[in-house]
Structure 1
Amino acid sequence: MKTLILALAALVLLGCGSPPRGNRVSLWVHAGPGPERLAYVEAVRVFNAAGHGFQVDLTVLPEGTYGDQVRAAALAGQLPDVLELDGPAVPEYAWAKRLLPLDGFPELAAAREDALPSIREQGTFRGRLYALGPYESGLALWGNRRLLAKAGVAPPATVDGAWTLPQFEAVMRRLKRVGVPYPLDMKFNYGAGEWFTFALAPLVQGLGGDLLDPAGISARGHLDGPAAVRALALVQGWARAGYVNAATRDDSDFVMGRAALSYVGHWAYPTYRRALGRDLVLLPMPRFGPRAVTGAGTWTFALSAGSRHPAAAAQVLAHLLSPAEIARVTAINGAIPGTFTALRASAAHRPGGPLALYAEQVARGLARPRPRTPAYATVSAAFAEAVNNVLAGADPRTELGRAATTVEEALQDSRGFPGT
């Protein structure tokens, strides 16, 4: 790992993230080769054509290595002026003084005021706002109307009608009886990484627990608490009952009809819509415990503390958070627009729209962020390892106890990440 970081740092120093010179401002985003990348290319083209007195240099990096490249650039003191960060990573960089607080920039006043509460919550660390995102994540169930009808299942249409845990498990039993090979697709093909935390933290939270204490300084009794143990035991039980294929190796179970339900985020919508057409239906997050909880937090933008042009960088960020640019990217990825203005303008997210339930879940306060701590990377890695081992047959209580010990040691080593 040390070799990888040094190599990436060298790459950064060779020019892909060099400090701005003269009238140049650097911007890093993550994206693949597809439409989302083109959205950011067009956003920069529009900004540069508007005559702001400076130009934006865009660098698009692959998602799979993006976090490592940002970390390498931070270690080398070579972060770009404006950068994307995955929401849970914001506290790590804010605590290390790698980011500028956004509260004092007049260029961002409108965006701060207009941002969804969950967007502001995600970007806030110890009372200061360090990041704002153009969109919010959506986590729920996609359903195949044809297969649900075959099992005599009526999909709930509102948040208030969400299935309880017993109802949800009864639906999976009925789907199994009518011949659906694996009723629920949980995207385990994504691998043992951040998806495990994003997907299963809401299950833990819905059962009344969390991965850390509210202050974000202790894992013991939380990461290995009763709710977390029950959550992993439930998922293990679904796999053993054949409701979920824990060994799936591709992304096609739902689109090919091998699963009738898909537990996944907003990003699957374009693919699912093309594959299922009118048979595609969005269902609200089940109430696994006392309340329904859905995932929150996704990619967000921040300003580097090392920027030589912070006011210009703030103008770029304001442009990326404008209604037109939010509409451009969310039309591609299906995410919830991150400002009230952009959300009201989105036909897909209005009542009756194909993505309206995502917006309703956020508006109803169901969205909960992952733990906001500089130790998040350790928390997520330890939890994901526990999930992976449980899916392979290990005891949930034992695995979560081991994960909690790992996180506690990291927190003690840092002495709770004192002060910023």
Structure 2
Amino acid sequence: MPHTIRNTALKALAASLAIASLVTVGGCGEAARAAAKANANEITIWTHTAGSEAELAGVQQIIDDYNASPDKKATIKLQSFPQSSYNDSVISASSANNLPCLVDVDQPNTPYWAWANILDPLTDEALLKRTKDLIPSATGKWNDKVYTVGYFDATVALFARKSVLKKLGIRIATVDKPWTKDEMDDALAKLKATGEWNYPFEIGTADNKSEWYAYAYAPILQSFGGDLVNRKDYQSADGVLNGKEGKAFANWMRDLVAKGYISSKGGSDTALDFVNNKSGLLYGGIWSMSTFQKYAKDYDDIVVMPMTDFGHGSVTGGGSWTVGMTPTCPNKAAAQDYIRFSLQDKYIANMASAGMNIPTTKAAQQMVKPFAKGGDMQIFTEISEKYVKMRPETPAYNFISTEFRKTIGDIMNGADVNTWLDKAVNHIDGNIQGADGYRKN
């Protein structure tokens, strides 16, 4: 979609949301809101987990326990949606002024939803006190206010076989001592020289429709010293995406293809391909481990390592699904009481276990065996705690992510680095300016 159309669509959406929030008489949205106010003792939470039985069951367990509590402030009802249609359902409901009290939120969407009046900040003192026990990546923030909180997090890492690294004289990186850029380049050259793999390194380039490029490749950019946007005020990407550090990153990514280390098209199931020895080194998500555990006969030979330090420290992504409260909720005290109730360690452990993700409190981590001390997933907790960098907390993030994905994809396929990065900056800055800097009205 051309830049001008994106801007027009963005402004139209913002306008429709603002108009919907100002309507005070008439319309089905107003009728629904009036009905909700009349029954504030029954509030609804929307979740994206339809189709994920274990996760949905975890949410239902929390709700059942809360509803059975003598201290409940309202009865909670659940409505589930498929993840593929969930965001559109929320935005449509917001435009119609028909939001429920509580919604699931993919953490990087929090600033946009807050700006667009889909979310209200959390203000309950007991709830905010509990959020301080969570790992930093478990909260969704905008303008220094907490809007959402989560039960689990995910991250990315490098995967290799210890036997392969040993054979080639490649050091196994550790959380405390990741590979340097020189070590990474040397490892890739040695893997390529064996001739065992057409493309020895797999980084998920086939996933060019989702947020993967920003989630996984932006940490590499940040390790080079660049970023997606200037985080001082989130008003421009100039100098951080297209500066010398950003250009060094982009050239390195293009060289991965030029030297035959990666395919710009990649495989559709990178974890399974690694199990089947179609690559010697994999850069993937924590979720790859479930594939390894199920299919890898040499599971004990697989090693997990942090991503390379390209000069400004190793960096890893953070932020997963969270829950927040809407502005039209007729019983905000009950909504926040439910969220606080849901953040008990036992529920965090249960929700994290459902998807085998990082539990967001230390106590809950010890309740999930793979993440407890000595567990084979504990290293992901260590990587996240030490190297996590949140995606930019700006309503512009979704646009930035899409622009970054297209730009890096084109560069890996041979586009001129300087021209394409400058063009991306112009598009990003234009989007921000077109939305009046995404300042809250």
TM range, smaller chain: 0.7 to 0.9
Residue 324 to residue 96, structure 1, CA distance change in 2 (3 Å): same
Q: Does structure 1 residue 258 correspond to structure 2 residue 278? A: yes
Shift of 1:177: 2.7
Structure 2 match to 1:211: 228
* Structure 2 SS opposite 1:305: coil
The correspondence for 1:348, drawn from 362, 370, 376, is 370
Shift of 1:212: 0.9
Please give the alpha-carbon distance, in whole angstroms, between the structure 1 residues aligned to 2:61 and 2:276: 34
Given residue 118 of structure 1, which amino acid in structure 2 is its aligned partner? S
Q: Does structure 1 residue 234 correspond to structure 2 residue 252? A: yes
The correspondence for 2:49, drawn from 13, 22, 31, is 31
Please give the alpha-carbon distance, in whole angstroms, between the structure 1 residues aligned to 2:302 and 2:238: 41
* Structure 2 SS opposite 1:307: coil
Instruction: Deviation per CA, 1:358-414: give whole Å up to 9, x if none.
Output: 2223333x2111111111121111111112212322122222211111111111122
Comparing 177-186 and 371-380, the one that deviates more: 177-186
Please give the alpha-carbon distance, in whole angstroms, between the structure 1 residues aligned to 2:304 and 2:267: 24
Residue 23 to residue 263, structure 1, CA distance change in 2 (3 Å): same
Please give the alpha-carbon distance, in whole angstroms, between the structure 1 residues aligned to 2:103 and 2:403: 26
Q: Does structure 1 residue 412 correspond to structure 2 residue 433? A: yes
Please give the alpha-carbon distance, in whole angstroms, between the structure 2 residues aligned to 1:26 and 1:281: 43
Structure 2 match to 1:201: 218
Structure 2 match to 1:373: 394
Comparing 71-80 and 336-345, the one that deviates more: 336-345
Please give the alpha-carbon distance, in whole angstroms, between the structure 2 residues aligned to 1:38 and 1:241: 47
Please give the alpha-carbon distance, in whole angstroms, between the structure 1 residues aligned to 2:266 and 2:154: 24
Please give the alpha-carbon distance, in whole angstroms, between the structure 2 residues aligned to 1:390 and 1:13: 49
Given residue 170 of structure 1, which amino acid in structure 2 is its aligned partner? D
Q: Does structure 1 residue 399 correspond to structure 2 residue 420? A: yes
Structure 1 match to 2:199: 182
Please give the alpha-carbon distance, in whole angstroms, between the structure 1 residues aligned to 2:128 and 2:429: 38
Shift of 1:249: 4.2
% of aligned pairs identical? 28
* Structure 1 SS opposite 2:347: helix
If the length of structure 1 is used for normalisation, what is the TM-score?
Answer: 0.88
Given residue 211 of structure 1, which amino acid in structure 2 is its aligned partner? L
Please give the alpha-carbon distance, in whole angstroms, between the structure 2 residues aligned to 1:96 and 1:273: 41
Instruction: Deviation per CA, 1:124-150: give whole Å up to 9, x if none.
Output: 211211111112322211223344345
Larger radius of gyration: 2
Structure 1 match to 2:357: 335
Shift of 1:197: 0.5
The correspondence for 1:40, drawn from 55, 59, 70, is 59
Residue 347 to residue 180, structure 1, CA distance change in 2 (3 Å): same
* Structure 1 SS opposite 2:79: strand
Structure 1 match to 2:382: 360
Structure 2 match to 1:320: 342
Please give the alpha-carbon distance, in whole angstroms, between the structure 2 residues aligned to 1:327 and 1:338: 8
Given residue 292 of structure 1, which amino acid in structure 2 is its aligned partner? S
* Structure 2 SS opposite 1:26: strand
Residue 393 to residue 150, structure 1, CA distance change in 2 (3 Å): same
The equivalences for 1:291-310 within 5 A come to 291-310=313-332
Does the 8 Å contact 1:267/1:334 carry over to 2?
Answer: yes
* Structure 2 SS opposite 1:114: coil
Does the 8 Å contact 2:348/2:359 carry over to 1?
Answer: yes
Please give the alpha-carbon distance, in whole angstroms, between the structure 1 residues aligned to 2:146 and 2:87: 21
Please give the alpha-carbon distance, in whole angstroms, between the structure 1 residues aligned to 2:80 and 2:301: 35
Shift of 1:347: 3.6
Please give the alpha-carbon distance, in whole angstroms, between the structure 1 residues aligned to 2:340 and 2:50: 23
Instruction: Deviation per CA, 1:142-187: give whole Å up to 9, x if none.
Output: 223344345443422x322211111112112222233133222212
Q: Does structure 1 residue 167 correspond to structure 2 residue 183? A: yes
* Structure 2 SS opposite 1:285: coil
Comparing 178-187 and 44-53, the one that deviates more: 44-53
Residue 161 to residue 411, structure 1, CA distance change in 2 (3 Å): same
Does the 8 Å contact 1:19/1:26 carry over to 2?
Answer: no
Q: Does structure 1 residue 191 correspond to structure 2 residue 208? A: yes
* Structure 2 SS opposite 1:130: strand
Please give the alpha-carbon distance, in whole angstroms, between the structure 2 residues aligned to 1:76 and 1:418: 23
Please give the alpha-carbon distance, in whole angstroms, between the structure 2 residues aligned to 1:374 and 1:249: 31
Given residue 399 of structure 2, which amino acid in structure 1 is its aligned partner? T
If the length of structure 2 is used for normalisation, what is the TM-score?
Answer: 0.84
Shift of 1:207: 0.7
Q: Does structure 1 residue 97 correspond to structure 2 residue 117? A: yes
Shift of 1:199: 0.7
Instruction: Deviation per CA, 1:249-275: give whole Å up to 9, x if none.
Output: 410321221112221222222222222
Structure 1 match to 2:153: 136
Please give the alpha-carbon distance, in whole angstroms, between the structure 1 residues aligned to 2:161 and 2:354: 22
Please give the alpha-carbon distance, in whole angstroms, between the structure 1 residues aligned to 2:382 and 2:370: 12
Shift of 1:53: 6.3
Please give the alpha-carbon distance, in whole angstroms, between the structure 2 residues aligned to 1:198 and 1:279: 27
Residue 376 to residue 290, structure 1, CA distance change in 2 (3 Å): closer
The correspondence for 2:127, drawn from 100, 108, 111, is 108
Does the 8 Å contact 1:273/1:280 carry over to 2?
Answer: no
Please give the alpha-carbon distance, in whole angstroms, between the structure 2 residues aligned to 1:190 and 1:379: 17
* Structure 1 SS opposite 2:219: helix
* Structure 2 SS opposite 1:161: coil
Shift of 1:357: 2.2
Unaligned runs of 5+ in 1: none
Instruction: Deviation per CA, 1:26-81: give whole Å up to 9, x if none.
Output: 11222362333333344334434446364332222222332222222222222221
Please give the alpha-carbon distance, in whole angstroms, between the structure 2 residues aligned to 1:62 and 1:135: 19
Aligned length: 409
